[in-house]
Amino acid sequence: MTVCVVGQGGREHAMARLFARSADVVVTPGNPGMPGELFGHKITVDPASPEELGADLTVIGPEAPLVGGLADRLRARGLPVVGPGAAAAALEGSKAFMKQVLAEAGVPTARYGVFDDLAAARAFLAELPGPFVVKTDGLAAGKGVLVTPDREEAEADAAAKLSGRAFGAAGHRVVIEAGLDGIECSIHVLCDGPTVVPMAAARDFKRALDGDRGANTGGMGGYSPPPEVDDALVSRVIDEAVEPTLAALGRRGIEYRGVLYAGIMVTADGPAVIEFNVRFGDPEAQVVLPRLADDPFELFLATATGALRAPPAFAPAFALCVVAAAAGYPEAPVVGERIDGLGPDGQLADPIDGVTVLHAGTTKDPDGAFRVAGGRVLGFGALAPSLGEARDLAYRAAGSVRWPGMHLRRDIGPPARPATVPG
């Protein structure tokens, strides 16, 4: 049996290691930190297309191939695939489409407007009390969002996006939103068409710098489970946000089969949807998947084939991941630096029990040394009986690896004072 994982980042590395529990794994295109043998199964990387590979199960990691219709093409060949078709993936491909579907479905979300004209965008910003949120309509790898209390900064950002200077065509339309206040969390579910089951919840750290300062990134770290997200909150998100959204898609004749990620703000009035993503979060996958207690092949095959039954079980352990990024990330990552502290297999040269190095943006020299090849370079993932232990392990691991300009957040983990969920 072979599972094909599509993608090349830290999320896909975590998926490859998960599926190696049940089957051989081929990652396309993958990265050089992935290949090896785990649980008696092989993980290989292959530049061939997922159509050519024709695996027993294909799981698509990133949004771009989903938005581009890869899942439709695989299904047309009769291959089992986890990932929505292009029509459903538009939920992530166009924030304007997502907001429209949420409005139709009556799902709580921030007040918004969609603009391709600066004067109208300015007029809408003038009506909002702030904080202000300016997003590119199209895909921008998590970096196309500005949240600011400053109306002038929001106007300048909308102008830069609309002109195409900041994000090219993805920014020719912007979505402007009222800023929501509350506690943010990432809730993933698996959908097989009619049936929805929850995965473990996670928290992501989206800003580049400690204390949630700096630019929005793809994600600088995360952990699972966030102690303040209980089963009742997850059920409420499924009942009030996920099911109505799937029903609204259904009324358009669109079926959803894959992973759906609800970015939730738990506000004083209850959970509101910040966004839907049509795939696992990165780095959320790195902290959710290692905790899965069920057979991954069976669970994801059931998702692909419409056979989901009971919610999957998760180990009562805590996972935490610290992402180390290249100098200049997210604006202009500096690539090419040689990484010290890794062995030829890409794991720690001096291994630490409970720690996995997840490769995101690396290349490998012929002599076996790894080099920086992207913005987010490595994730240090740890699994332990408590969040504190997981955090200590992840930071100990991160401290044993270095390259010039390596930067990471020092505050990945629960807040110093326990957060309470209002309501």
Give contact residues for ligand GLY (rule: CB under 6 A): 142, 204, 218-219, 277, 281-282, 284
Shortest Å, Cβ 131 to ligand AMP: 7
Shortest Å, Cβ 204 to ligand GLY: 4
C-alpha 282/C-alpha 11 separation (Å) is 5
Which residue, 92 or 192, is less far from ligand AMP as judged by CB?
Answer: 92
Q: Across the strands, what pairs with 178?
A: 132
Which residue, 55 or 202, is less far from ligand AMP as judged by CB?
Answer: 202
Choose from ligand AMP, ligand GLY, none: what does 9 bind? Cβ within 5-8 Å by kind: none
Peptide bond into 225 cis (omega under 30): yes
- Is residue 110 close enough to count as binding ligand AMP by CB under 6 A? yes
Residue nearest to ligand GLY (CB): 219
Choose from ligand AMP, ligand GLY, none: what does 219 bind? Cβ within 5-8 Å by kind: ligand GLY
Choose from ligand AMP, ligand GLY, none: what does 281 bind? Cβ within 5-8 Å by kind: ligand GLY
Which residue, 264 or 355, is less far from ligand AMP as judged by CB?
Answer: 264
How far from 368 is each of 32, 187, 214, 362, CA to CA, in Å?
10, 38, 34, 12
Which residue, 177 or 284, is less far from ligand GLY as judged by CB?
Answer: 284
**Tokens, residue 116:** 């391709």
C-alpha 193/C-alpha 256 separation (Å) is 5
- Sequence-separated (6 or more) residues with CB below 8 Å from residue 221: 204, 205, 283, 320, 321, 322, 323, 379, 408, 409, 412
Of positions 99, 161, 206, 409, contacts ligand AMP by CB under 6 A: 206
Question: Which residue's structure tokens are 């332990």?
Answer: 384
- Is residue 397 close enough to count as binding ligand AMP by CB under 6 A? no
Provide DSSP, 130-175.
Answer: S-EEEEESS--TT-SEEEES-HHHHHHHHHHHHTTTTTGGGGSSEE
Of positions 137, 155, 275, 284, contacts ligand AMP by CB under 6 A: 275
C-alpha 192/C-alpha 100 separation (Å) is 23
Q: Do residues 41 and 24 lie in contact, with contact meaning Cβ atoms separated by under 8 Å? A: yes
Choose from ligand AMP, ligand GLY, none: what does 135 bind? Cβ within 5-8 Å by kind: ligand AMP
* Chain residues that interact with ligand AMP, rule: CB under 6 A: 110, 133, 135, 142, 145, 147, 177, 179-180, 184, 206, 216, 263, 274-275
